[in-house]
Amino acid sequence: MQVVAPLFHVLIFPGFVFLVAFGLFASWVDRKLIAKFQNRVGPPVLQPFADLIKLLAKEDIVPEHANRSMFAVAPIIALAGVIAAIVYIPLWAPQAVSAFQGDLIVVIYLLTLPAFALFLGGWYSTNPFATIGATRTLTQLFGYEVPFFLACLGPAIAAGSWTISDVTFAQADGLWYITAAPLSFAVAMVALIGKLERVPFDIPQANTEIVTGPEVEYTGRRLAVWKLTFVTETIVGSALIAALFLGGPHFWGISYDAMPLWLAGLIGMIVLCVKILLIVFFLSLAQAALARIRIEQMVQWCLLWLGIPALINIGIIVMMMHSVGA
């Protein structure tokens, strides 16, 4: 049983199977919303699943001059990092399945692995377009990662803990940290767009400039793994922001203490999924409304207009805690 339970959490729920299924559904919601914003019909609900099956059936081709081992392992590392991160985020209860002191730092680190893996995969494919996209991926990382960390730091300071479960539990009374740290929440949302390489921060992909960025040489199953990585990272990143700023599975007026455990878990899961879809709605709205910017503009803009507000919000939280303590 000591081996079966961790394997179930990683492979089935809340790990691989759940992330893929919910991620593909969220991908359909994203594409449908963008289509509606642009006055189009959009895809049917099963289109993301059909796209995945089609990619899995395609032939895998490795470039002649690529580093075969690095080319093959990069997408697996990226997807593994995202799946590993979900077990530290509370999904249906205030306590995550693998919570420990300091797991917030681990989750932030795990969510950087896709960017590093994408850089390595593109760089070692030796394609010039992939190399440019890989360089942009790494350059962009330095723009959004610092503000994202500072934004996540705000709720951790307010809760007095580096454990995501503790931060979520501290919001159980209905006082979500979006009210105490609105600037940090806004910074985290914008930085998440950079992590997911979505418009206006899709510079590494830039279809009109460098085809499809670092993964231009990937085909078949390996390309499917890359697509799954971005899909699941959307869910994990949104779940992290929901846990830190929106109370995770908690909702105003709902008391889980008097409910049976299974019912409390079910309602908590539904509440969190709705919050994740609301964040996806914001991502879709941003993509439909904004245009791509240049890489140097992105880095400068993130460090200036995201980093400084995040620091200001941290200062406000510290002063509020001192004033309450006094």
DSSP-derived secondary structure letter, 155: H
- pLDDT tens-digit profile, the chain (326 residues): 567 777 888 888 888 999 999 999 999 999 999 999 888 899 999 999 999 999 999 988 898 888 999 999 999 999 999 999 999 999 988 788 888 999 999 999 999 999 999 999 999 998 988 998 999 999 999 889 999 999 999 999 999 999 999 999 999 887 899 998 899 999 999 999 999 988 888 888 877 676 678 888 999 999 999 999 999 999 999 999 999 999 999 887 777 777 788 888 889 899 999 999 999 999 999 988 887 777 888 888 888 888 888 888 889 888 888 787 65
Largest CA distance in the chain: 67
Gyration radius from the chain CA atoms: 20
Residue 41: Cβ within 10 Å count: 8
The pLDDT value recorded for residue 325 is: 65
CA neighbor of 195 nearest in space, from 70, 292, 297, 108: 108
Q: Among residues 176, 6, 170, which one has the least CA distance to residue 84?
A: 6
Exposure of 102 in the CB half-sphere (CA atoms within 13 A)? 2
Angle value at C-alpha 242, between 32 and 101, nearest 5 degrees: 145
